[in-house]
Structure 1
Amino acid sequence: MLNFSAIPAELHAPAQRYWDQFEAALQSQNLPHPRDLLPPSVTADEFFRQLTRAFVASEFIAKTSAQRPQYLIELVQSGALFTAQTDAHLDVFAAAVNACNTDAELDKCLRQQRQMAMIRIIWRDLNRVADMREVTAELSRFADKSILLAAEFHYRALEKMYGTPIGRESNLAQPFMVLGMGKLGAGELNVSSDIDLIFTFPEGGETNHASRAISNQEFFIKLGQKLIKSLDTVTADGFVFRVDMRLRPHGQSGALAMSFVGMEDYYQTQGREWERYAMIKARTVAMAGGEGQIAARKLLRDMLQPFTYRQYIDFSAIESLREMKGLIARQVQRKGMNLDVKLGEGGIREVEFVVQVFQLIRGGRDARLRKRKVPVLLPFLEQENYLPPGAGSALLEAYIFLRNTEHAIQGYQDKQTQSLPVDPIGQLRLAWAMGFENWDSFFATLSGYRQRVNTEFKSVIAAPDEEDTVDQKALAFWMGLWEGSLQGEDAVHALTARNIEGPEALLKNLADLREGRAVLSMQASSRTRLDAFIPRLLQVIVHEAFGPKLPITIAETFARIVPLIEAVARRSAYLVLLVENPTAVQQLVKLCAASPWIADQIAQYPVLLDELLTPESLYTPPDKELLRDELRRDVLRLNWDDLEGHMEALRYFRSAHALRVSASEVAGVLPLMKVSDYLTWIAEVVLEHVLNLGWEHMVERHGRPRRSDGSVDTAPDFVIVGYGKLGGIELGHGSDLDLVFIHNADSNLHTDGERSIDNTTFYTRLGQRIIHVLNTYTPSGKLYEVDMRLRPSGNSGLLVSSLTAFEKYQANEAWTWEHQALVRARVVAGSAALGEQFEQVRQRILTQERDLDKLRADVSEMRRKMREQLGSEGKSKPNPLSASKTPAIFNLKQDSGGIVDIEFMVQYAALAWAAKEPKVIRYTDNIRILGSLEEAGLLDAQSVAHLIAAYKAYRSTGHRLALQRQEAVLEGDNHFLTERAQVTALWQQLIDHT
């Protein structure tokens, strides 16, 4: 008997009626009673408790059991009703389908299996034996299996009639591929969902039948038609799944099945924003027949990914999703669907939109956002600070409640609806099924969840309410100025009245931009975005000018931003980003006003605008280990053979962090030494990755270098040595990288691959690969300018040297200036063991006894040549008003008393005294070498202090000039007079004394 003890009396009668019919059917068909078939793990009391709940909450279960009692009997007898779905359950399903011989048998079998699967899944859901994630996963796996089994059945049948479809290019049998979209693609199918499908196949061609050959497309269209009929048609046994094909290319007017070439052409030329949204959840749910299924699956994924996920930060996705939500909201309002838990305000769709907006905006750059399941992504979004603390967990809790509500609504009659019931009995039944005593308490809880969802949704995707945040009157003024309705003397007077300095220049800049080719050729939608942005930009510039105070005029600040506007005119998603994010505009204005170099960088690489969204990270550079982690995350989505992808990721990484360090420098939050540290760390992390990238490429092509003991190199026996500013941990903005490559492999041995080459050639090609990655221009520019002239024998020498050859050259052939360079050399990437050996070689070379007179002469002569070629002495005109003999300009680096004088003195001292005090060459940076010289008593404290102070002052000024896009040359005769005099005096004392 049914156990109604905990069930409202109003719900008893329908369940009891179906139970009476069920027991009568058992008797008339001579079937055993389910209580006599229970497995030992399930008591009769527990069974009847679950049975009663299922019959009360699901008319579908009750009615189907009464009409076809054998379904419930089989589920109880097999134990499937009481256990989670397993491969064994699906194997039973497959065996039943594979026993079918005709289309009619197949269709009947699929429907019977579906009815039993739905009884089992809804039963377990209503009794909370399975949670929401298990329910949706099991439904999705059952749908996958249904599609696959039906597709394989019809493929075999069509193959007998028309032959096997063969690819025109590959000559391989072609598989039929089914893309699952929406909740099926995400593996989150609901209790009574339709399934959105797209049919495709790799190649065109025709079938190989001797007399009835047809094109591959015709074959797969026939197969698609048969598959839909087997799944979708309603018969006396019901249906399997309602099939919706409207998401295919060209919608209902498009071909039912399309080749990869046709799919790619469509999405590249005609794909719309809402199709990107749909493609997020796309998954290959079935592949029938053919060969090369794994390769075909990967090829399809790689083909669709660029359409779905943009490499840049795509804020236009917010606008697109907002428009889509607006359409849905109007539909809901028009059709009175506010009680719809999916589409109504605060419903399931809003949770999905919150997740998908981040996927569309940032999924191209962060592969971790490409997961399809909402419950997986919500905690991740909160963990990664895409959502504020608590928002992800709150949305997940609401999502689970909403999905359970949806299942309870649909499970009642197996109908595709998400609308809350309006009749009292229906309301009571739903409330009770959801664990509430009455409708009011359930509805209050549901409303609370929906309100929270809607609040989070609005904070992420809803259009910003500018009434409270923007001075509308001021915005209207700037709009009139931009549109040209306010111009001429009236405009000048209006700007002057607002204390705008140089109004004529600002008006000219606006007119030039408005009438320039970049703006005139914009599409209407893009121009609308520009018109929304320019007034806001002007308003921010003016606010910054009269608030924090810009270092340059309003007109000059605007002029620096114009190249960026022109650069993004055809990629107006960036304009959306700026309109949506006032903080980003504020940072843009502040940084461009402070540094034309930063303005140039952002105009050249607009993708860097993403960095302006979070000032916390913009002005807080990470340390080297965090840089490594960040780059590792950036390339997680990439295979090692995706060279283009790695090159783009590396270029963005370097540019983004160069922007961070320059922003921190102009903001005064990062001192000079930390600036150089940070820029050096960026280069080192990039070089580490480029070395690994080149290594994986070489190993894939040629195998691994063999060693004399019979083993192979499991990692590169290779190091990248940094010289100059890189070696000295003194990189500046835009610095080149002076590199030397060294290996330690046996040149007489070869690699172990099929295309074996000798070890020396292997490592030489590895070096070439590294230079190619660093030096090649891509749409994102060049990674680094590389200078290899410091290698043994310079440009005429081998690109990669063995350690033995390097030491031999340094000991017997190197010039003094090459030993000077070695003072600043250190390993920046590669084998730790080989790095230690290199350092030992460096120590041996630098600690040699030297002829000090010859050393002084060599250093002095090299410095003289550099001054003549690169310095400003003799090139500047003397100042007639000054009695000073100091040139009218001062080259910070090359002139007497400048940076190079200090560097040469440090190098001379290290070479001269390392033999008796090896610790002076422990470090490669000038500041610490000077400290070591003082510590060893080789230079007095005052001299060291003067050199360090001058060196820091010169470099700080050089950095500042670089950010102002100026050369390191100062005009006038009154710059650094004290520092230059002190440096020159020490030069005379150390080098040029007689």
Structure 2
Amino acid sequence: MVRVMTHADFAARLTRSPIAHDTEAARDSARAFSDLPPEVAGLIGAVAGCSPFLKGLMAQEGAWLRGALEATPETAMAGMLADLHAVEGAEALGVALRVTKRRTALLTALCDLGGVWPLEAVTGALTALADRAVDLAVRAFVAEEIRRGKLPGAVPEDAATGAGMVALAMGKMGAGELNYSSDIDLICLFDDARYGEAAQEARAAFIRVTRKMAALLSDNTAEGYVFRTDLRLRPDAAVTPVCISMAAAESYYESVGRTWERAAYIKARPCGGDLAAGERFLRALTPFVWRKHLDFAAIQDAHDMRLRIREHRQLNRPLTVEGHNMKLGQGGIREIEFFTQTRQLIAGGRDPDLRDRSTVGGLAALAAKGWIPADVAAELTTLYRAHREVEHRLQMVGDAQTHVMPVTAEGVARIAAFCGQREDAFRAGLLDRLARVDALTEGFFAPGEVEALPDLSPTARAVVEGWGQYPALRSERAQAIFRRLRPVLLKRLMRAANPDEALLALDGFLAGLPAGVQLFALFEANPALVDLIIDIAGTSPLLARYLSRNAGVLDGVIGGSFFAPWPEVGPLAEALGRAMAEQGDYEKKLDAARRVMKEWHFRVGVHHLRGLVDAFEAAKHYADLAEAVIVALWPVVVAEFAGRHGAMPGRGAAVLGMGSLGAARLNAGSDLDLIVIYDAQGVEMSEGPRPLATRAYYARLTQALVTALTAQMAEGRLYEVDMRLRPSGRGGPVATSIQSFTSYQETEAWTWEHLALTRARPMAGAPEVMAEVEAVRRAVVASKGQGPGVRRDVAEMRARLAQAKPARGVWEAKNGPGRLMDIELTAQMAALLTGSPARGVERQIEAGRKGGILSDSGATALLAAYRLMWRLQAGTRLITEGTLDPARLGEGGRAFLLRETGEAAEAGLTDRLERVAGQAEAVILALLGGAARGAEDGETGSAAG
């Protein structure tokens, strides 16, 4: 049952009251409403004793007020808004809106001052009236234009949706936060696509609608005014009409839109006319408002804007109560709004949860996502509400759109009483709150002082002096930020193992940056990133070069979950899929995949570099990421291809990972070994706009996948791809039917192809085809390891590899006897000889031990060598693309590799490598027996293929 509240219930909701500043006015008003409960009459008297404006409204609207207080204020407010729908004609609407505005002003004031409504309910009620007023005015004047035949093709029913015109609420109205005597900021647009060649005629009509709407709301008549209306936030307001086309607005924002306009659109909301068209426009503007990279340069823009406002309004003066601007002054409302909006701009492009229009909601979202401490968000929220209440009381005194404290002690005393406080307590509390807001926000905005440079060697000073010539440091803005950042970078460099070496690596990083403002602003706002960059520069020049070309990946370091647990293949593929789904264009989908992949790839490298994961964990993470890319990308490529050539004939295809990818162990520089197998089920042609013969269809689809992975685009490439492990190698088709694949493996394949099959793994495609390929793989592995031919062929392959890829350098981990490739080949042979389906090196060696191929000591020796070699190889590929030369490695890189391999010194690692490689080689030679000796002597024929 719904209980109808009476004014006694209203009285029960009272929690506070002003103190009457004018006791005589308070006594008169309380007496006039003495028929109401004492608590309500007392509130009315106290309010009248502080606000001549509200005292006058009580006298003018006394009868209505008594009726309104017989229901809940929520019911009274809803009834007023509903009654406006029954008003017909623009003239009558103007009168009705003014009466409703008076009554809303009175009701919201009593609910605010009596503590019946919290701040958000007060501002929400004022905003609801503004929304209804704008919408009804737009409809009324659009209907007039339609009746006059001035809107081409429009019919009377179109007036209900503004015939394609929309008013966007900006600022506090858009956020649902209108203050007590607020003006309203609107941007008026029309959907020009709806009118085609008649758009100019429609434009003229909508300009008339906008002017009439603004006049109806703003003009001060005998009945008062509704809302002062400001249309100056529209694009290039000095030269554009009051209503412009959506296409023109989009073009403006895409070409010359500024940071303050981006901040304004955080709060933008369609409020009148064609709301659906307004939502479409805002969605189209999303890339302008919400940048895909973390946008720390917005901090500098906001700081500059604050300084310009203060300078323009002469607000740079000591903090005092008299004359202080509660909105724009030091520690004021705008500081909290700027703090919130700027943080939202920084990260909202990557996290839609941060795009809350309201200030309080924005602070809560930022705290929930870790962008600001929860206690800071809570304190700023409390301060914001307190500031807004003071603002409201300033405006309630005389219904003036003011934010400035009175300049006299008498005026301040009135505001103190209006806030229910003694003057001395009010003054102290206000100054404390202003100072606290300033302390919480100023450090975020104000750039630090430029520190002195540390002492540098002549060589280092020459390097630093050359930085001004780099592309990233050519703009004045980049130079200004970097001047503050440079001493911090150089001081951190002094703590590196080899400062000069780290400086040269940092120099290479800076030289490779195409632009610097965003990145330098990011570093300045996040000092921990400087340590990371120095660590990378001092350890991994390769990672530093990669970072200079892909600085956007640093977004991920501070964008939430950089140090969270690894998400595995499924969630990674979902994240990639979502990123691609957000893009309509195929190339943009591919770029989105590259952006996400690079962030995750960089994360793995950083975690490995800093010891958060070891070489084996990093290898699994790299492999998970590669598999996720294939899983997410395959359906996108298939859909794009099918749009031109029809669906895949038959059951479809499976994508197989081969080699290290199949074994789920990649390093930072790995390419991908892939093959594609399909089952057309006898279907000879695809069915589509441009049908293809089945064999050509799957060949071209496979090439489309390879291109999607390897093409160099704006965000780089995903991976290099190697397809030489397909049946018949380079000479075979790039995609193979499952029938041909099965027949080839059973009757024609060389031993090396059977060995490769031991690591094959279906990753993406039709589930039934993937399952059948896996069954074929297991059957072939189980049946092809019998007889002496396998050992003989492996021996010859070893001999060829030793000749073609000899070990290079004392810390070579991959090539050479007893090293990675040799052990991996032996492990595959063990799997083939025992018919084991195992793919990973460790499991294949264990299969050899269990199958009697390897002794316990032999398996132990192979595993010990493999694990050392992999740690060294994975670490090597993270810091260099070339041959590893310990003498030229650098202190940071050398320390990293020694840490990875558990050695204290270079000599210890060198000795250990030689020892374990020798032991592994002895095990392999014993396993191959006479076949190995024959291969070394060149006595066997070519069998490796």
Normalised by the size of structure 1, how large is the TM-score? 0.78
SS at match of 2:272: strand
Figure out how many residues of one structure are paired with residues of the other and give that number. 888
SS at match of 2:271: strand
- How far did residue 969 of structure 1 move? 6.1
Paired with 1:954 and 1:19, the residues of 2 have a C-alpha distance of 90
In the other structure, the counterpart of 1:487 is none
Note the 1:239-250 alignment, pairs <5 A.
239-250=225-236
Paired with 2:600 and 2:290, the residues of 1 have a C-alpha distance of 23
Which amino acid letter does the alignment assign opposite residue 843 of structure 1? Answer: R
SS at match of 1:390: helix
Note the 1:947-958 alignment, pairs <5 A.
947-958=862-873
Would you say the 8 A contact 2:830–2:845 is kept in 1?
no
Paired with 1:843 and 1:6, the residues of 2 have a C-alpha distance of 83
Note the 1:172-251 alignment, pairs <5 A.
175-203=164-192, 215-251=201-237
In the other structure, the counterpart of 1:855 is 790
- How far did residue 872 of structure 1 move? 3.3
> Aligned Cα RMSD in Å?
4.4
1:48–1:22 CA distance, 2 compared to 1 (3 A): closer
Would you say the 8 A contact 1:267–1:307 is kept in 2?
yes
Residue 93 of structure 1 pairs with residue 84 of structure 2: yes
Note the 1:474-485 alignment, pairs <5 A.
474=453
Range with greater deviation from structure 2 (800-809 or 951-960): 800-809
Q: CA offsets, 1:525-574, max 9 Å, x none?
A: 33333444444433432x224xxx23xx51x4333333443444644232
Residue 313 of structure 1 pairs with residue 294 of structure 2: yes
In the other structure, the counterpart of 1:945 is 860
Paired with 1:10 and 1:890, the residues of 2 have a C-alpha distance of 87
SS at match of 2:657: strand
1:524–1:850 CA distance, 2 compared to 1 (3 A): closer
Would you say the 8 A contact 1:57–1:126 is kept in 2?
no
Would you say the 8 A contact 1:59–1:413 is kept in 2?
yes
1:759–1:966 CA distance, 2 compared to 1 (3 A): closer
Q: CA offsets, 1:188-239, max 9 Å, x none?
A: 2222211112222233897999xxx963433332222112111111111111
Residue 348 of structure 1 pairs with residue 291 of structure 2: no
Would you say the 8 A contact 2:30–2:41 is kept in 1?
no
Would you say the 8 A contact 1:359–1:370 is kept in 2?
yes
Task: Give the counterpart of 2:439 among 455, 464, 479.
Answer: 455
In the other structure, the counterpart of 2:106 is 119
In the other structure, the counterpart of 2:713 is 778
Unaligned runs of 5+ in 1: 24-32, 36-43, 478-494, 709-716, 874-886, 915-919
1:570–1:724 CA distance, 2 compared to 1 (3 A): same
1:208–1:599 CA distance, 2 compared to 1 (3 A): closer
- How far did residue 606 of structure 1 move? 1.8
Would you say the 8 A contact 1:621–1:660 is kept in 2?
no
Would you say the 8 A contact 1:136–1:191 is kept in 2?
yes
In the other structure, the counterpart of 2:551 is 606
Paired with 1:813 and 1:14, the residues of 2 have a C-alpha distance of 107
Would you say the 8 A contact 1:204–1:216 is kept in 2?
no
1:943–1:151 CA distance, 2 compared to 1 (3 A): same
Q: CA offsets, 1:903-958, max 9 Å, x none?
A: 111111111112xxxxx43x421123223433454311221122122222323332
Would you say the 8 A contact 2:142–2:162 is kept in 1?
no
Which amino acid letter does the alignment assign opposite residue 210 of structure 2? Answer: G
1:842–1:388 CA distance, 2 compared to 1 (3 A): same
SS at match of 2:378: helix
Paired with 2:717 and 2:26, the residues of 1 have a C-alpha distance of 73
1:240–1:638 CA distance, 2 compared to 1 (3 A): farther
In the other structure, the counterpart of 2:140 is 153
In the other structure, the counterpart of 1:104 is 91
In the other structure, the counterpart of 1:872 is 806
Paired with 2:66 and 2:809, the residues of 1 have a C-alpha distance of 102
- How far did residue 69 of structure 1 move? 4.3
Task: Give the counterpart of 2:495 among 534, 537, 544.
Answer: 544
Would you say the 8 A contact 2:576–2:596 is kept in 1?
no
Paired with 1:908 and 1:395, the residues of 2 have a C-alpha distance of 67
Task: Give the counterpart of 1:509 among 463, 476, 480.
Answer: 463
1:855–1:333 CA distance, 2 compared to 1 (3 A): same
Would you say the 8 A contact 2:182–2:228 is kept in 1?
yes
In the other structure, the counterpart of 2:780 is 845
Note the 1:5-404 alignment, pairs <5 A.
8=19, 10-18=21-29, 48=41, 55=48, 59-69=52-62, 71-72=64-65, 75=68, 79=71, 81-83=73-75, 86=78, 90-96=81-87, 99-100=88-89, 103-161=90-148, 163-165=150-152, 175-203=164-192, 215-288=201-274, 294=276, 296-297=277-278, 299-330=280-311, 331=313, 333=315, 339-404=324-389
Identity %: 28
Which amino acid letter does the alignment assign opposite residue 298 of structure 2? Answer: A
Would you say the 8 A contact 2:292–2:350 is kept in 1?
yes
Paired with 2:608 and 2:196, the residues of 1 have a C-alpha distance of 67
Higher relative CO (CA 8 A, sep ≥ 6), structure 1 or 2? 2
Paired with 2:697 and 2:29, the residues of 1 have a C-alpha distance of 78
Would you say the 8 A contact 2:472–2:513 is kept in 1?
no
1:698–1:11 CA distance, 2 compared to 1 (3 A): farther
Paired with 1:173 and 1:190, the residues of 2 have a C-alpha distance of 27
In the other structure, the counterpart of 1:878 is none
- How far did residue 297 of structure 1 move? 3.5
1:760–1:187 CA distance, 2 compared to 1 (3 A): farther
Which amino acid letter does the alignment assign opposite residue 738 of structure 1? Answer: D
Which amino acid letter does the alignment assign opposite residue 927 of structure 2? Answer: L
Note the 1:780-819 alignment, pairs <5 A.
780-791=715-726, 807=742, 810-812=745-747, 814-819=749-754
Normalised by the size of structure 2, how large is the TM-score? 0.82
Paired with 2:719 and 2:492, the residues of 1 have a C-alpha distance of 34
1:8–1:952 CA distance, 2 compared to 1 (3 A): closer
Range with greater deviation from structure 2 (251-260 or 738-747): 738-747
SS at match of 2:238: helix
Would you say the 8 A contact 1:80–1:89 is kept in 2?
no
Task: Give the counterpart of 1:671 among 614, 620, 642.
Answer: 614
SS at match of 2:25: helix
Task: Give the counterpart of 2:877 among 951, 958, 962.
Answer: 962
Residue 562 of structure 1 pairs with residue 507 of structure 2: yes
Q: CA offsets, 1:726-755, max 9 Å, x none?
A: 221221112112234567897869999999
Q: CA offsets, 1:854-887, max 9 Å, x none?
A: 222333344444445x4138xxxxxxxxxxxxx8
SS at match of 2:117: coil
- How far did residue 839 of structure 1 move? 4.3
1:519–1:752 CA distance, 2 compared to 1 (3 A): closer
Which amino acid letter does the alignment assign opposite residue 184 of structure 1? Answer: M
Q: CA offsets, 1:18-54, max 9 Å, x none?
A: 466789xxxxxxxxx9x7xxxxxxxx66765665566
In the other structure, the counterpart of 2:567 is 624
1:629–1:896 CA distance, 2 compared to 1 (3 A): closer
1:21–1:670 CA distance, 2 compared to 1 (3 A): closer
Q: CA offsets, 1:948-980, max 9 Å, x none?
A: 222223233323332332424669998843334
Paired with 1:752 and 1:61, the residues of 2 have a C-alpha distance of 76
